Amino acid sequence: MTSRSCLTVILAAGEGTRMKSSLPKVLHTIAGLPIVAHVAKAVHGAGGSDIALVVGNGADQVEAAVRSVTANVTVHEQAERLGTAHAVLAAREAIMRGYDDILVVFGDTPLVETAALEQARTKLAAGADIVVMGFRPTVPNGYGRLIEQDGRLVAIREEKDASEAERKIGLCNGGLMALRGDGALELLEKITNNNAKGEYYLTDVVEIANAAGKSVVAIEISPDNVIGINTRVELAEAEAIWQTRKRRDMMLAGVTMRAPETVFFAHDTLIEADVILEPNIIFGPKVSIASGAVIHAFSYFEGAKIGPDANVGPFARLRPGADLAAKSKVGNFVEVKNAKVGVGAKVNHLTYIGDAVVGASANIGAGAITCNYDGYNKHLTEIGANVFIGSNSSLVAPVSIGDNAYIASGSVITANVPAEALAFGRARQEVKEGRATQLRARYAAQKLAKKAE
């Protein structure tokens, strides 16, 4: 398959008015990735790395989304909306470059799978001139039927034009198509708009190819592959399907999930085998987790790297730049941002670590924070190996705490602390003997006075 060249025409010029959005519908996201980029990933995986992108509204943004997946993109504007064949021919210049295979897909079908596209290309390699991808919906009402005879696809019949016998056919047109590059343009140019709507329908190429003695076949793919997104309801439904697929893939790859339906992944989440995920965890983009890590419930991660055998949560938040080394611990109600937490270091609870380096085996007490922002700029806090930071301490950056240093609880540290040193940064405690009795008497009198008013 890799020896055959392939061009993929992605049709992404639709207005998407039913999305009720100023954003082009193909730029709405599933798992944090634009719909059209999901399509580009699938075709790239199937060897269709050269992409002819047919655009309309928001062309620059749509192009950028596709280029985030592959750089081999040419952009073609469809100024008028005159049907699917007209849209494909907007990419005439790219088709004329000459390819063994041409895939035609839609920019709003984010669940299309690489395997389905590979199946179509395999049929082309075996001698087919056109491959139409069909599916079997539970209820076929409203779909065009694929009419086959002796293993050949002879026509695509719209339901309103189908006979009673044809309407009983369960294999329906999914819209996705593959064409042999040699002769594809000649077939496409023979499509006319001699129909009630005056549009050029790509489906007409099937009968045109048959009339020319070409080999036209249908393959069956999963219905999920052809789900198009037209509303936000459909967007949410597609997200649910994508997440279900991802959870299954993760578990089959060796990830333990206590309640899979409550864990939500981003498109690029990387998790190694033998990681344990408890319920109610959300992954934003750019998160990786190494083997042996345990992620406790109700945690949120984005742009974070979690090392082997680390222990995180519950109720932890890792923001971009968080980098937890092996066997480190980030506990409940801890937030880490742009900070490295060293091997075996512990940040157990109620703590903020931002713009910092925490050394190996350091212990950060409850309520300790790095004061990294002065209202204008961020500053670095360096905490050495084996450092103990007492509870409710504030480290005012820029500041450095040397190896094996000890920070007393409740301290505000504004100057560097040398290695092995003990630092206090709090007011001296005073004890007034008998003063508590006097205070109680005074407060009780005040309370009685208020009641008497």
Concatenating the DSSP letter of every residue in 323-382 gives EE-TT-EEEEEEEEEEEEE-TT-EEEEEEEEEEEEE-TT-EEPTT-EEE-B-SS-B--EE
Region 37-60: mean pLDDT is 92
**Model pLDDT for residues 134-173, shown as the tens digit of each residue:** 999 998 888 999 999 988 999 998 888 888 898 999 999 9
Cα gap 101→52, rounded to integer Å: 13
Q: Name the CATH superfamily for 252-423.
A: Hexapeptide repeat proteins (2.160.10.10)
Q: Flag whether 57 is marked binding.
A: no
Judge whether residue 16 has pLDDT over 80: no
429 pLDDT band (50/70/90 cuts)?
confident
14 among the known binding-site residues? yes
13 is in an annotated binding site: yes
Instruction: Indicate whether 85 pLDDT > 60.
Output: yes
Q: Give the side-chain half-sphere CA count within 13 A for 444.
A: 6
pLDDT at 81: 82
**pLDDT tens digits, 259-278:** 999 999 999 999 999 999 99
Classified by CATH at the fold level, domain 6-226 comes out as: Spore Coat Polysaccharide Biosynthesis Protein SpsA; Chain A (3.90.550)
Would you call 300 helix, strand, or coil by DSSP? strand
Catalytic-residue membership of 349: yes
Quote the tokens at residue 403: 């190896």
| From 76, 86, 349, 379, the catalytic residue | 349
Q: Report pLDDT for 418.
A: 96
Residues 177-193 have a mean pLDDT of: 94
Alpha-carbon distance of 209 to 192, in angstroms, equals: 14
Q: Which of 12-16, 303-307, 332-336 has the lowest mean pLDDT?
A: 12-16
Name the percent of the chain lying above pLDDT 70: 100
Is 84 annotated to bind a ligand? Reply is: yes
Sorting pLDDT into bands at 50, 70 and 90, what band is 182? very high
Q: Are 174 and 133 in contact (CB under 8 A)?
A: yes
Is 25 marked as a binding-site residue? yes
Give the C-alpha separation, 361 to 305, whole Å.
Answer: 18
391 is in an annotated binding site: yes
More confident residue, 160 or 236: 236
Q: What is the mean pLDDT of residues 422-429?
A: 89
According to DSSP, the β-strands at 317-318 and 346-358 are unpaired
> Which contiguous run of DSSP H or E holds residue 239?
helix 232-252
**1 has a pLDDT exceeding 70:** no
Q: Is 78 annotated as a binding residue?
A: yes
Q: Which residue has the tokens 């990735």?
A: 33
In the predicted structure, residue 430 carries a pLDDT above the cut 90: no
Residue 20 burial (CB count, 10 A): 9
pLDDT band at 2; cut points 50, 70, 90: low
Q: Mean of the pLDDT values across residues 431-439?
A: 90
- Residues 57-79 have a mean pLDDT of 91
The pLDDT score that the predictor gives to residue 195 is 82
Task: Write the pLDDT tens digit of every residue in 401-415.
Answer: 999 999 999 999 999
**Mean pLDDT, residues 323-332 taken together:** 98
User: Quick count: other Cβ atoms within 10 Å of Cβ 34?
Assistant: 26
Averaged pLDDT of the chain: 94
Given a cut of 90, whether residue 190 has pLDDT beyond it is: yes
What number is the average pLDDT over the span 319-342? 98
pLDDT for 274: 98
- Among the listed residues 121, 84, 119, the one whose alpha carbon sits nearest the alpha carbon of residue 101: 121
Domain ranges (residues) in the chain: 6-226, 252-423
Please tell me whether 141 is known to bind a ligand.
no
pLDDT value of residue 159: 85
